[in-house]
Amino acid sequence: MKLNFYGGAKMVTGANYLLDTGNLKILVDCGLFQGSKFAEFLNYEGFPYNPSDIDYLLLTHSHADHIGRIPKLYKDGFRGKIIATHPTVALIKAALPNTLALLMEEAKRDGHEPLFREDHLINAVLLAEGANYHKEIRLDQETVIKFLDAGHILGSSIIEITCNSKKVCFSGDLGNPPNPLLHDPDIPENPDYLIVESTYGSKIHEDKQERKNILEKVIDETVAKGGTLLIPSFAIERTQELLYELNEMFSKKSLPDIPLFLDSPLAIEITKVYKNHAEYYNEEALRLINSGDDIFDFPNLVFTKIADESKQINTIRGPKIIIAGSGMSNGGRILHHELRYLPDSNSAILFVGYQSEGSLGRRILNGDKKVSIFGKKIPVNCKVFSIGGYSGHADQKFILEWVKKINRNQKLKKIFIVQGEIDSAEILGKVIKKELNIETIVPGQGDKFTLE
């Protein structure tokens, strides 16, 4: 077998891996490069393989940096089969139209053709079929695949590919347990080769109780000053986790009596998908639902789906909370709110997810005193906060323990470290090698390996 790294190598985004079994060409993920202008440029380059030669595209989950180039793959000739868990198929149908809208905005702004058209998106999604966790799917006489629970977002998967008794395991994005909604990541059994993410490979998160304490503190401080709290949030998973915990705060009467707006049409649609797939939740979330609690809704929460409703938010005087996309402030309605509230010293912005190098969110988080939004230089006078514990990604400590459990029978031959900035990937690789004495490799873009 040959393993090729065409995205997510020495960078967080653009996940795209090609496994050639000799009989089948199997892609794992086909995501957008995100963050800097250079990253956006990479999306428009041709694929380093012929898309029409690809037999299967397997998806670990539905975030844009793992699915965003699927319609381009179709546009360039792919007609194979797409396989993902049932929730992932539902989520890509909801998420990809939003990706197209953002790409069209970008194309109009920069004066070039969009990455793909709506017809490419529609036809690509028709190739997708759903799979269940833990059930083997035979692709040919030699190759079997299985989806395991990654605990990252609804339907997220660790993918096992077994061919001629060799097992290759792709971690996808690993969850950051304990998750208020989802199960902990599964432990794959005896893979020979492991491809593991490293987004937070050099960091240790705050514990979950600490993140709740920080959230309450940030809300209380902002409300006391009469300001507005902005929370740029990813529409998938992060928003639902926030709603769950804000609902919990409301039930315990620790949430101030102020309006809270979910100003994201995509997040509203995604929340509906979550409600339709409750069977994937963990026991505690199911217990709350069965008791009659709507875990994603509570008094004072307002869903603003259409543009006019979004504009009305700015007419609301006094303190308020606005959750809006995109999570890295690269587009979406959050930009309009940042334009208004970043200069306000009484207001605050709270980041609850990873901010790619080069993204607007990263620049704000790094302390830039002025940022550019819609071509205007905007002063950043508001308070800036970040909660690492809200990350949907496992930290170094969890990844190391997860790999140790996988290698309990000492079957692992090599570990490839991906989906992290270079320092993060290299630090994680050194830690794993020191602890387990297994060869670790941080592959670069275009690197190819023969799996013996």
pLDDT at 38: 66
Q: Are residues 233 and 193 both part of a single domain?
A: no
Q: What contacts 126, CB < 8 A, 6 or more positions away?
A: none
Instruction: Say if residue 49 is in the same domain as residue 74.
Output: yes
CATH number at residue 303: 3.40.50.10890
The answer on 171 and 82 residing in a single domain is yes
Q: Based on the domain organization, do 97 and 191 belong to the same domain?
A: yes
CA distance 158 to 197: 11
pLDDT of residue 60: 99
Half-sphere exposure of 259 (CA within 13 A, CB side): 17
Contact by Cβ (8 Å): 255, 242? no
In 306-346, which ranges are E strands? 320-324
Question: Are 12 and 59 members of one domain?
Answer: yes
Query: In terms of domains, do 131 and 15 share one?
Result: yes
HSE (CB half, 13 Å, CA atoms) of 295?
Answer: 24
What integer pLDDT is reported at residue 247 of this predicted model? 92
Number of domains within the chain: 2
Q: What are phi and psi of 60, to 5 degrees?
A: -80, -35
Q: Which of 365, 390, 415 is the last residue of a domain?
A: 390
Query: Domain check: are 286 and 424 in the same one?
Result: no
Question: Is the same domain home to 32 and 76?
Answer: yes
E-assigned strand segments in 61-109: 81-85
Helices (H), 349-409: 360-365, 396-406
Domain co-membership, 164 together with 287 = no
Residues 402-439 as b/e (b if ≥16 CB within 10 A, e otherwise) read bbeebbeeeebebbbbbbbbeebbbbbbebbeeebebe
* Structural domain range at position 301: 208-390
Write down which residue in 369, 390, 411 finishes a domain: 390
* Same domain, yes or no: 177 and 39: yes
For residues 28 and 18, give the distance between their C-alpha atoms in angstroms, rounded to a whole number: 6
Strands 137-138 and 128-131: unpaired
The CA distance from 415 to 147, in Å, is: 19
CATH of the domain at 122: 3.60.15.10
pLDDT at 209: 79
pLDDT, mean of each 10-residue run, the chain (452 residues): 98 97 98 81 95 99 96 99 98 95 86 94 98 98 98 98 97 94 97 97 84 93 97 92 92 93 95 95 93 89 95 93 92 94 98 88 96 96 88 92 97 97 97 97 98 92
Q: Which of 342, 363, 390 is the last residue of a domain?
A: 390
**Residues 427, 396 share a domain:** yes
Tell me the C-alpha distance between 118 and 206, whole Å: 41
Tell me the C-alpha distance between 254 and 265, whole Å: 27
Cα diameter, the chain: 66
Question: Are 120 and 59 within one domain?
Answer: yes
